[in-house]
Structure 1
Amino acid sequence: MDLTLSDEQRLLRESVDRFIAETYTADHRRRAANEPAGFSPAIWKQFAELGWLALPIDEAYGGLGAGAVETGIVMEAFGRGLVSEPYLSTVVIGAALVAACGTDAQKQAILPRVADGSLFLALAHSERTARFDLAEVGTTAVKMPDGWRLDGQKIAVLDGNAAGQIIVSARIANNNGASGSLCLFLVPGDTPGLARRDYARLGGGRACNLDLAGVRLPAEALLGDGGDALAAIEAVVDRAMAALGSEAVGIMQMLLDTTLEYTKIRKQFGRPLSANQVIRHRLADMAMQTDEARSMALRAALMVDAEPVARSRAASGAKAKIGKCARFVAEQSVQLHGAMGVTEELDIGSYFKRLLAFDTLFGGSAHHYRRHAALVGRAHA
């Protein structure tokens, strides 16, 4: 298999790398963190002008029709810059769910607005009792004469504070009170009965918790035809984990490069730290872990369109492996920088926090080792 990038992919990587290097300084990140939304709307507009928001959207809806590998190229560069813009929540997750589940009318109404940067999306799916089980949803949707009524609570809604449309998962309540199929609903952010409590995320960006108390929606708020959406949610979350893996690789590469440069200029007893053989061995281990993580992220991206068991095994395998590699690289980087590694003067601590957040998002390594093992059993059944 030829894994070299095509000319178009190389040009995409060069353009994203150049933009991030020129724009995402430490000062910019601090200014973006102080924005009400937690990111810079002006930068988001530039993303749209450069075509990055349209990248994975089908050409019929104003997109470019690119795949998960191209998304991974963008996300790896975003990792190097600690980008806080809601690319994952809006483009990778939100737009993909609309494309997978929505009617043609819903796609026409939403996807072009995502591509041009005028609409932010967020997925509200996680609940306190779920513990990363995507099938565990307690929020209910009751069919009313004029539409739907939603009740429930959601947690850790990525960038939900800025979303114009929130995609909320809920179980259809049957006439006998039993819960039915899992469906998705388009809920405008200003809908009466919807309360958002937002907070800063570890490593940058914002998230929110949602309270839905008698939220009334029109009939057309149901995303798609009302069929069970669990399979689509699992596919999109697997795609999101592949993209997050690429972002983590970008962070790891930045930590490796920064640490290598520091050990060349930092001297002890008249010699650079990098002259010490033990330090060289640790740097070599960091480089090896980064390359292993890059391979796993690429494998997950290449498998996003495979049959469900193979796709999920690749995604969970990548999440588990990259999580362990990321923690090792982050801890080594902080330690080799000494006390400087935990000061505000350097960005090492910020990258470290983002990797800690990555390890928890959609489940940590232990959760995905268990999921991978269960999927292996399904494959052999």
Structure 2
Amino acid sequence: MAVLNEEQEMLRDMARDWATNKSPVTEFRKVRAAGEPQAFDKGAWNTMAEMGWAGVIIPEAYGGSDFGWLSMGLIVEELGKTLTASPLVASTIAASAIILGGSEDQKSTWLPRLASGELVATLAVDEGPRHAPHSCSTSVSGGKLSGTKAFVQEAHGADLFVVAAKDGLYLVEKGDGVTLSTRKLTDQRSHAEVTFDGTPADSLAGGGESLLDDVLDRARILTACEMLGMAQQVFDTTLDYLKQRVQFNQVLATFQALQHRMADLFGDLAMMRSAVEGGLQALDSGFGVARAATIAKSEANRVLHTMSREGIQLHGGIGMTDEYDIGFYLKRARVLEASWGSSAYLRDRFAKLGGY
């Protein structure tokens, strides 16, 4: 496990206490039942912003705390454990794009509002059902952007979009020329097809040709943090169930075959944690980010897929009922596995990064 300093330990503990006591899975059930397009509790989001979470990776000069990516990952992991619905990950990724590629004017305009939580932003990249960031038909002419982005996360609650076009990334405000069509996915979170029709766009001209890949690597690592929290919670919940459930007059946890399966999952979880924390440390050090991000998300895909499937099976038939929380983790897992690169996509990318 990563070695944390005192501030990081306090931040992790604060996030754990808040998620456990103020944002358990029952709160996600309320969000789901409300059926609002933004699919998150605005009051909870305001509380997160007041605690400074929206500005963790934003420099102090622009209203953030600049605590770094490891600190951000600790928060996201704890929120993943309780399936907390919020735009924190999406907005943080969008903020990172402005930090990496924005001009001084763009940073001064947008980062303080993102750090305070006043503004929500999200990343709009893919135009089809599969992650293909460099297959882009969205174009800009005369400062006007036109194109369609599929399955944009947190689109309904976003005020600002970081949009990938043929010649780079652009900032686009929600308003005239921006149309959202809701896309219902199995995780019951906010997803939309977003159409831009001659919408004013401001180019993120800094960061060079690799800006999109750099931003996506941050998206992969932060998404893997949420997946790590989910995998840990599925493991803990399943283990507790096996210790309580009696079958054939024996507690399930006493069956050696089930002990072996849980031992395998425990080992997988340790591997996943190592890969994800390695990605966060790479971001903070600025060294080997592309490879670390690819490994982190690939391992997160593998382990959470197995963990969520085994969690359902080890719960038996009740695992698929709505009364049990375990099924929510499987549904969210399948969506996150496809976000920012499937396992096949990431294996191919890792080979290309190695020159193969």
TM-score by length of 2: 0.94
Q: Deviations over 1:256-293 (max 9, x none)?
A: 11111111110011110001111111111111111111
1:162 equivalent to 2:157? Answer: yes
Cα 1:349–1:321 shift into 2, 3 Å:
same
Pick which of 9-18 and 236-245 moved more: 236-245
CA contact (8 A) 2:100 2:207 kept: no
CA apart distance, 1:306: 5.8
Q: Kindly report which structure 2 residues correspond to 1:75-224, keeping only aligned pairs within 5 A, or say none.
A: 75-91=76-92, 93-128=93-128, 131-143=130-142, 148-171=143-166, 182-191=167-176, 193-215=177-199, 217=200, 221-224=201-204
In structure 2, the partner of 1:177 is none
CA separation of 1:89/1:3 partners in 2, compared to 1, >3 Å: closer, same or farther? Answer: closer
Give the counterpart letter for 1:211 in structure 2.
T
CA distance in 2, matches of 1:46, 1:301: 25
Q: For the residues of structure 2 that align with 1:139 and 1:238, how far apart are their CA atoms?
A: 21
Count of residue correspondences: 354
RMSD: 1.8
1:176 matched to which residue of 2? none
- Residue 267 of structure 1 aligns with an amino acid whose one-letter code is V
1:59-79 residue CA offsets vs partner (Å, 9 max, x unmatched): 000000111111110111011
Pick one of 240, 261, 271 that aligns with 1:282. 261
User: After TM superposition, which residue ranges in structure 1, 4 or more long, deviate above 4 angstroms?
Assistant: 227-230, 305-308
Amino acid at match of 2:95: A
What is the aligned counterpart of 1:231 among 210, 225, 229? 210
Gaps of 5+ in 1: 172-181
Aligned with residue 324 of structure 1, among 302, 323, 331: 302
Which amino acid letter does the alignment assign opposite residue 56 of structure 1?
I
Q: Which amino acid is 1:209 matched to?
A: E
Decide which structure has the larger Cα Rg and report it. Answer: 1
CA distance in 1, matches of 2:24, 2:138: 41
Query: For each residue in 1:129-173, what CA deviation from the matched residue of structure 2 results, as whole angstroms up to 9, or x when unmatched?
Result: 8x4332222111112xxxx222221112111111111122223xx
Q: Once the 2 structures are TM-superposed, how far is the Cα of residue 230 of structure 1 from its aligned partner?
A: 4.2
Secondary structure, counterpart of 2:74 in structure 1? helix
Q: Distance in 2 between matches of 1:136 and 1:311?
A: 22
Identical residues among aligned pairs (%): 30
User: Residue 48 in 1 paired to residue 26 in 2?
Assistant: no
Q: In structure 1, how many angstroms separate the alpha carbons of the residues matched to 2:297 and 2:49? A: 29
Aligned equivalents of 2:175, 2:184: Cα separation in 1 = 21
Distance 1:207 1:331, change over 3 A: same
Q: Is the 8 A contact 2:38 2:155 kept in 1?
A: no
Note the alpha carbon deviations across 1:225-259, whole angstroms, 9 max, x for none: x4675412211211121111111111111111111
Q: Distance in 2 between matches of 1:261 and 1:157?
A: 36
- Pairwise CA distance, 1:201: 3.7
* Residue of structure 1 equivalent to 2:324: 346
- Aligned pair in 2 of structure 1 residues 222, 319: CA closer, same or farther (>3 Å)? same
Change (3 A) 1:356 1:163: same
Using the alignment, how far apart are the partners of 1:196 and 1:364 within structure 2? 25
The alpha-carbon deviation at position 304 of structure 1 amounts to: 2.1
Go from structure 1 to structure 2 and tell me whether the alpha carbon gap of 1:137 and 1:311 turns closer, same or farther (over 3 Å shift): same
1:178 corresponds to: none
